[in-house]
Structure 1
Amino acid sequence: MSSDSAVPLAGSPIIVGFGGAALDFLAVVAAFPKPDDKIRSTNLKVQGGGNAGNALTCAARLGLKPRIISKVANDIQGRAVLEELEADGVDTFFFVVSEEGCSPFSYVIIDSQAKTRTCIFTAGYPPMMPEDLSRDSLLSALDGARLVYFDGRMHETALLIAREAFCKNISILVDAERPREGLDELLTMTDYLVCAERFPQAWTEAASIPRAMVSILLKLPKLKFVIATLGENGSMMLEQCMDDGPQTEEMDVDRSFESLVRQKDDSIAKPTCIATHVTKFRAEGIGSVCGRLYVGTAEKIPPSELIDTNGAGDAFVGAVLYAICNNLSPEKMLPFASCVAAAKCKALGARSGLPRREDPCLASFYNRDPNQ
């Protein structure tokens, strides 16, 4: 993550993703209903969903070549999931399609007044198991891959894929929403971790997110960085660096984070990034780690343009996958990912607003050369 260039052409790196792909039934309402209420929707949309499906769709629109491993049933929902992914350039060859059962789906209620979304998920059946994926198919899926991504679901099959990727020295990124069965072992093989705001403290029991991030890097020495997404407050990232020895300054990680937050310029609407120099960050009662701390701001979206936050985290992850494959520096990666997530929030559903590489909202990240 050392390049300071703007977003280059992707060169179509291959990535592999494993996790949820589903169908979302989205209903917009004026306000979230109370118990026993009967209300009418103001808008309705049926669209592909699922963390892995969304993140890989985002990556494909930005220029990567994603392959997805997942499972659906041979029903109307399953066929719709596959068709939509294929239309966006996601390779579905490694999907498992069950002749029986049902495909996963979600009911999503978008409150247009509070600007929130509530998801009711129904898991697919039968679930994907390791025996659904032959070794030949797995090796074929991983062939030529630059990066493998997991959303933390279906842990038995995820671990099978991760162990093979680990043996082949293929980098692994995990998106962690909350502690799940099998996640601890998966994280021991992980190079990059992107997590929801509540995950770091839930997983480490640390008193603050910055302290939790120090704890995560100490528990998982293979990690190159950990990012926590903070919604409208942007994101924070702790990157692991080489210790320069006695001359490396030592600082309390909470105070360093607070210092960065104070430096934010709230008058700037577009995403920005503020960073420390290489520092030995100390977390009381936990230990210390050498690295750089980053605070990324979120794009300020006018209320009239904020439509739906569903899938914003997946969009952020998809942009991070792109950034890693193109060696973007964290100072470029965090604003880029925030810009992509903001574009998603300006349309209904997890995918409608996902920008393509040529989208004007990303123009400021491109090199000066118009052909790049």
Structure 2
Amino acid sequence: MAASASHMPNPILLGCGAVSVDYLATVASFPSPDDKVRSLALKVQGGGNAGNALTAAARLGLAPRIISKVSNDALGRSILKELQDDGVDTSYLMVAEDGNSPFTYIIVDNQTKTRTCIHTPGYPPMRPEELTKENLFAALHGADMVYFDVRLHETALLVAEEASQRKIPILVDVEKKRDGLDELLNFATYVVCSAKFPQAWTGASSTPVALVHMLLRLPNIKFVIVTRGEKGCLMLERSMTDASETEEIDVEGLLESLEQKVDSSSSMPKCIVSKSNLRISADGVGSMSGRLVLGTAELIPSEELVDTTGAGDAFIGAVLYGLCTGMPVEKMLPFAAQVAACGCRALGARAGLPRRLSL
């Protein structure tokens, strides 16, 4: 039974990272330089990876808390109110009296269904000393999971070190290489990353080879998920028992065998899982014990696809929910794909995020 439907308290999730206000303008097609175009639709709503993922998690039934920073301006007040209205605890969100809160201009191309982001960071930036020990301990008290989007990296490392000492599981969401990333990954229990990151970080020849490389390089990681947009996701999960006596199987060949089992006629997300406790190898990298999991995306009809902004954040919010409520991988990945698809049916990162009862 989901925690939100039981008599037990909702699992507590602490997140540290980016919040912002998004100005979303839909245009018929992306303008050329020096063009003047009119928007087809305009929406102003909260954004930022951490803000979006925690909003998704709150709507699904978790009790999120957030560590971040805004300024005491109109944007900052709207960021706070929107998070609070969705059930995100903002007690540990710092408010600067001066400066500006972060915001992003997002141009949504109605023709190609792509979005282009122009971000203005908040000022002054968050300093790690602003998070007092008292607030850090209070924020972590009772937390079932800690989540980072690799922003505010100095503060994030303080939180990660204390969470690690308390043996609280940590999920790190990685879009690209950022300051403090490598140190933060050393504390991670789970990693969810963008399609380009594994190869960029490891220099591997392909994504599956890069995933093997990541698990060998980060021995504390239980699994890595790489999101691939409309292609779904790929997960490499470490086995708890050693399969060194088992015959090795090449990770690229293993992925090909899973891809052959995909039912292209089905519009709903599915999970295709290899045998457990395989000895999975990658040429020139090494081998590890685990299983490979291929998750398909929900096929969204073109007339229903509005905007992909925040789809990855919605996916991560659902993965966090799945982990906190003990959902098996075979159920968690299709569930996360379904939540992400809901978000793509509305303009902006949050307008389409579902509530648990609506799924």
Regarding TM over 0.5, the answer is yes
Contact 1:147 1:173 in 2 (8 A): yes
In 1: Cα distance, 2:4 partner to 2:88 partner: 21
Letter of the 1:315 counterpart: A
Q: After the TM superposition, which of the residue ranges 5-14 and 257-266 deviates more from structure 2?
A: 5-14
CA positional deviation for 1:242? 3.1
Match of 1:33 among 21, 31, 34: 31
Aligned match of 1:337: 336
Whether contact under 8 Å (2:2, 2:325) holds in the other structure is no
- 1:346 alignment counterpart: 345
Q: 1:358 to 1:245 in 2, by over 3 A?
A: closer
Task: Verify the 8 A CA contact 1:7 1:326 in the aligned structure 2.
Answer: yes
Report what 1:141 is aligned to: 139
Matched, 1:315 2:314: yes
- The Cα shift of 1:248 comes to 2.6
Q: 2:320 matched to 1:324?
A: no
Per-residue deviation at 1:328? 1.0
What amino acid sits opposite 1:114 in the alignment? Answer: T
Question: How far apart are the structure 1 equivalents of 2:244 and 2:195?
Answer: 33
Map 1:126-275 to 2 at 5 A: 126-245=124-243, 247-275=245-273
Q: Secondary structure at the residue paired with 1:270? A: coil
Are 1:243 and 1:280, in contact at CA under 8 Å, matched by a contact in 2?
Answer: no
In structure 2, the partner of 1:80 is: 78
Deviation at 1:117, TM superposition (A): 0.5
Q: 1:57 to 1:245 in 2, by over 3 A?
A: closer
* Structure-2 change in CA distance of 1:84 and 1:197 (3 Å): same
Question: Is residue 19 of structure 2 the alignment partner of residue 16 of structure 1?
Answer: no
C-alpha distance 44-100 of structure 1, shift in aligned 2 (>3 A): same
Ranked by relative contact order (alpha carbons within 8 Å, sequence separation 6 or more), the top structure is 1
Relative to the length of structure 1, the TM-score reads 0.94
Indicate the SS of the match to 1:70. Answer: strand
- Name the CA distance, whole Å, in 2 between partners of 1:203 and 1:154: 20
In 2, the alpha carbon distance for the partners of 1:269 and 1:6 equals: 25
Identity of aligned residues (%): 59
| Residue 112 of structure 2 corresponds to residue 117 of structure 1 | no
The change in CA–CA distance for 1:211 and 1:267 in structure 2 (over 3 A counts) is same
Structure-1 residue corresponding to 2:46: 48
- Tell me the equivalent position of 1:358: 357
Q: Distance in 2 between matches of 1:271 and 1:72?
A: 37
Aligned-pair RMSD on alpha carbons? 1.3
The letter of the residue matching 2:68 is S
Identify the residue that residue 274 of structure 2 maps to in structure 1: 276
- The aligned counterpart of 1:302 is 301
CA separation of 1:250/1:73 partners in 2, compared to 1, >3 Å: closer, same or farther?
A: same
Normalising by structure 2, we get a TM-score of 0.97
Distance 1:244 1:79 in 2: 52
Give the aligned residue type for 2:48: G
CA contact (8 A) 1:72 1:98 kept: yes
Figure out how many residues of one structure are paired with residues of the other and give that number.
356
Alpha-carbon distance, 1:129 to partner: 1.0
Cα distance in 1 for residues equivalent to 2:3 and 2:132: 37
CA distance in 1, matches of 2:75, 2:167: 36
Tell me, which stretches of 5 or more residues in structure 2 are unaligned? none
- Single out whichever of 8-17 and 158-167 deviates more from structure 2: 8-17
The 1:222–1:330 alpha-carbon spacing in structure 2 relative to 1, beyond 3 Å, is: same
* CA displacement at 1:249 relative to structure 2: 3.6
- The runs of 4+ residues in structure 1 deviating greater than 2 Å are 5-11, 242-249
Give the Cα separation in 2 of the matches to 1:325 and 1:51.
19
Which sits farther off after the overlay, 138-147 or 7-16?
A: 7-16
User: Any stretches of 5+ residues in structure 1 without a counterpart?
Assistant: 363-372
**8 Å contact 1:6–1:332 — kept in the other structure?**
no
Aligned residue type for 1:322: Y
Q: Which amino acid aligns with 2:290?
A: G
SS in 1 for 2:357: coil
